[in-house]
Structure 1
């Protein structure tokens, strides 16, 4: 049994953006056919060539925070099935050099626990170890190359 839960972008948040035809920052919702390399943050897999996707500005924060980071992410243009295995690290996501950006229970960055992982490292074991620390409440997994958010992880409920 996994000790963590993988949290993609909420389907309800994406539905609200689709209805408004814009992301939460006012950028137009512009679907286009995927080339097949785009990492989708709604279902945590790479897009298939020709799938309708959108590039949006997104932040995982739902309340104001000085740590709020927003950036570009790819999502399906229409609602998809989401991420089916939240107890498993996504095979298609953040397998290059990435940063496990740790936060404490007050939502502040936990600088002492920020960790960088690279191919050859155990992403799963590193994430489980970080989330097992009592002072770490959640982790934002980010690509080092692009800086964008891949997904959030929290201790399993």
Structure 2
């Protein structure tokens, strides 16, 4: 079973830098090091300019499909490059995102189906195959355990 790991699209990042999904301007700062960037799925290096902003991943996914995510439409904090970004580099599980994660599954109508904990060091391919074994699963959001933040999206391939 194939799947596609997706960073936030460059055009969406550009829109968010003009005004985030909460209607606020981003907070731009110079990174000391380590912020997980959702635009390229890497970690910021020392001295890089990053933007902290609010993002509603399910809202955008649901809008593409013409469905209403209802109460599952949430927004939360993410980091992106504040300027030019090289974009995501590979199709595999992104380096720098190996710590504990939650895989949150959604149906084609935008409603949540459930979640699966992914322990640090556990094979993400196996975990994703398990989540996508449910034929109702249309998209999976990978989230941080510590803060619940959205990291990236995984779609059926």
Contact 2:22/2:75 (8 A) holds in 1: no
Query: When the two structures are aligned, how many residues end up with a matched partner?
Result: 149
Range moving further from structure 2, 142-151 or 59-68: 59-68
In the alignment, structure 1 residue 130 sits paired with structure 2 residue 131: yes
Runs of 4+ residues deviating >4 angstroms: none
Structure 2 unaligned blocks of 5 or more? none
The Cα shift of 1:10 comes to: 1.6
Q: Provide the C-alpha distance between the structure 2 equivalents of 1:153 and 1:70, rounded to a whole number of angstroms.
A: 18
The Cα shift of 1:29 comes to: 2.5
Match of 2:50 among 29, 49, 53: 53
Q: Provide the C-alpha distance between the structure 1 equivalents of 2:116 and 2:21, rounded to a whole number of angstroms.
A: 29
Q: Provide the C-alpha distance between the structure 2 equivalents of 1:24 and 1:119, rounded to a whole number of angstroms.
A: 30
Q: Provide the C-alpha distance between the structure 1 equivalents of 2:21 and 2:56, rounded to a whole number of angstroms.
A: 9
Contact 1:8/1:43 (8 A) holds in 2: yes
TM-score (normalised: structure 2): 0.87
Deviation track 1:126-146 (CA, whole Å, cap 9, x = no partner) reads 113322431211100111111
Q: Provide the C-alpha distance between the structure 1 equivalents of 2:41 and 2:135, rounded to a whole number of angstroms.
A: 27
Q: Find the counterpart in structure 2 of residue 103 from structure 1.
A: 106
Which has more helix, going by share of residues?
2
Structure 1 unaligned blocks of 5 or more? none
Range moving further from structure 2, 121-130 or 42-51: 121-130
